[in-house]
Copies of this chain bind each other. A is one copy, B any other.
Amino acid sequence: MSPKITTELLKQLRQVMKSPKYVQEPIQAYIVPSGDAHQSEYMAPCDCRRAFISGFDGSAGTAIVTEQHAAMWTDGRYFLQAAHQMDNNWTLMRMGLKDTPTQEDWLVSVLPEGSKVGVDPFIIPADQWKSMSKALRSAGHDLVPVKENLIDTIWTDCPQRPCKPLIPLDLSYTGVSWRDKIVALRSKMAERKVLWFVVTALDEVAWLFNLRGSDVEYNPVFFAYAVIGMNTIRLFIDGDRIMDPAVREHLQLDSTLEPEFKIHVMPYGSILSELQAVGAGLSPKEKVWLSDKASYALTEAVPKAYRYLTLYTPICIAKAVKNASETEGMRRAHIKDAVALCELFNWLEQEVPKGTVTEIIAADKAEEFRSQQKDFVELSFATISSTGPNGAIIHYTPVPETNRTLSVNEIYLLDSGAQYKDGTTDVTRTMHFGTPSAYEKECFTYVLKGHIAVSAAIFPNGTKGHLLDSFARSALWDCGLDYLHGTGHGVGSFLNVHEGPCGISYKTFADEPLEAGMIVSDEPGYYEDGSFGIRIENVVLVVPAETKYNFKNRGSLTFEPLTLVPIQTKMIDVNLLTQKECNWVNSYHQKCREVVGAELERQGRQEALRWLTRETEPLVKVQ
């Protein structure tokens, strides 16, 4: 990796920062966050502005350019990568270290008195604008919105915003029509006494209209906004994709409909003016509901007195609770995914000893097997295929410079998943193709105990996921081990592999209670820097539990694993398992064998079936 030379680019940026063409008054600093206008986790190439200006393309980072300085804030995962990718024009601000200033403090320390700091109001969420603006104002500076994105003005070969075809999903996948989703949304709006709801997150637009796209890699979404009134529906979307007859039919664009279900399609770029028009027409007590993560630009379009902001939107909460059709789809997707992984692991077992399989080859092979499955669309995130010391880098993705060959002497960790038309998968298995050491088995077994503790946990209705996080750590803690990431995240249904509002983490305090139908991951791990990484991840469905006393009819919940891929028993030290844990593994493997075995049989994959049968032999615990 050689750093990107940014001298000329920064010169150009500093020119437009003073150009009356773009700014009313010259600005002394320009902030380039890593987000897009929808606060997405994954970016389309045209939105990777921070990477363009700096060269640093990690997933998290904020650049600030002043007349004299250029600085980049990022976290511990990316210190090394950012240092490699950026040239001398840039100062790396290592977040989390004691002496690293905050963006606000740094700005105050370098700016001349009474400076103006610019930012694209579509990219910065309203809550971040608020705190940044307050900090700058108290030091005598101003945060100002710059309408035209200044990076775009100097990015001559900026890729086009993607505008790929839409995929309508019928009822067999979604279980609920978009009309019924609108009805439910309006009833939530009525409950909160709001007249308008603005849909800004891409997966929320996709979910609401039962449409999918491919504008962003790994995320089956498309660039659009929606504004839902009590009697109107406006969908802001570009391109001729809306002219596709299947899409028109799906959205009933050419049918005679009751006016309240008539969708008005408008250009993507007209959201701001339309929302301003809505805002201007409001009378007292008429509120507009927005996520408090929506952009400053859209939030400001609604006069403050009329805004109703919440952390989670009603769509986010409804989307998290999967209905029967979605759950069945997720089950099917996970069975197909398991078939692909049985094929892969069987293949790896034969190929790894030859010394010819690299991390990249293994990742490609996993994709190849997945792509053979029905309704496969794409991967759900960049495959983490890591062996030996690379496994200890939690967010590793193999690239040619780091690509390592799998061997019978190292632990191999594969965290991968796919988008199928019927569901989204995300699974991690940790394998050894030779003979693991006693220490490796010990660590693996503690991680497994944690995985089981969460998966088998029974808890009353109303419990939030963060209350389960310590269950995943208890066995590790007892021996003085831990892992520095959360235990689980929400998973979409043929949607984003990470979604709110639920999760299992020591960090998340604003999570919503777990409910039957929610789907999360259960993925404790252990990482030994410089040697190996272990993680065991299933996607699990929240289901009602049966208990002896049933919480005085408050009811209770537990998890059912959707992922059905064997956990390598070679890595387990059976002596460290309780009988109950041992039984859990055996009954899990029994289910893998039955359910995935039947599908392997059906698909005529005899070799993989033999592998599955061998890998699901019951553990025997010597009493």
Contacts and interface: CB of A to CB of B under 8 A. Distances in A.
17 contacts: A458-B477, A458-B480, A459-B473, A459-B477, A460-B480, A460-B482, A467-B469, A477-B556, A479-B547, A479-B549, A480-B548, A480-B550, A481-B549, A481-B551, A482-B551, A482-B554, A509-B509
A98 to B, nearest CB: 12
Interface residues of A, number: 26
A142 to B, nearest CB: 18
Interface in A565-594: none
Nearest to A482: B460
A548 B551 CA distance: 38
A457 interface: yes
Contacts of A478: 458, 547
A471 B509 CA distance: 18
Interface in A522-572: 547-551, 554, 556
A403 interface: no
A468 interface: yes
- Residue from A482, A506, A509, A551 having most chain B Cβ neighbours under 10 A: A482
Contacts of A554: 482
B550 A506 contact: no
A474 interface: yes
Nearest to A545: B480
A6 interface: no
Contact of A470 (B468, B547, B548, B551): B468
A436 to B, nearest CB: 17
Contacts of A458: 477-478, 480
Interface string A323-337: 000000000000000
In the A-B complex, the 10 residue pairs with the closest CB atoms: A480-B547, A480-B549, A480-B550, A479-B548, A467-B470, A480-B551, A509-B509, A458-B477, A459-B477, A460-B482
A433 to B, nearest CB: 26
Contacts of A474: 457, 471
Nearest to A481: B549
A393 to B, nearest CB: 16
A580 to B, nearest CB: 10
Most central of A468, A470, A509 by chain B CB within 10 Å: A470
Nearest to A467: B470
Interface-central residue, A468, A478, A480, A509, by most chain B CB under 10 Å: A480
Contacts of A460: 477, 480, 482
Contacts of A467: 469-470, 506
Contacts of A479: 547-549
Nearest to A551: B480
Nearest to A460: B482
Nearest to A459: B477
A557 to B, nearest CB: 10
Query: Which of A460, A477, A547, A556 gathers the greatest number of chain B CB atoms within 10 Å?
Result: A477
Contacts of A457: 474, 477
A288 to B, nearest CB: 17
Nearest to A305: B138
Contacts of A482: 460, 551, 554
A554 B478 CA distance: 14
Nearest to A550: B480
Q: Which residue of A469, A474, A554 has the most chain B CB atoms within 10 A of its CB atom?
A: A474
Highest count of chain B CB atoms <10 Å: which of A458, A469, A471, A509: A458
A549 to B, nearest CB: 4
Nearest to A528: B552
Nearest to A556: B480
Contacts of A506: 467
A27 to B, nearest CB: 26
Contacts of A459: 470, 473, 477
Interface in A419-476: 457-460, 467-471, 473-474
Given A458-B477, A467-B469, 6 more contacts: A467-B506, A470-B471, A477-B556, A480-B548, A481-B549, A482-B554
A309 B286 CA distance: 36
Interface string A349-375: 000000000000000000000000000
A506 B469 CA distance: 12
Contacts of A473: 459
Nearest to A478: B458
A481 B552 CA distance: 8
A482 B548 CA distance: 12
A486 B554 CA distance: 18
A167 B554 CA distance: 50
Nearest to A509: B509
A506 B462 CA distance: 12
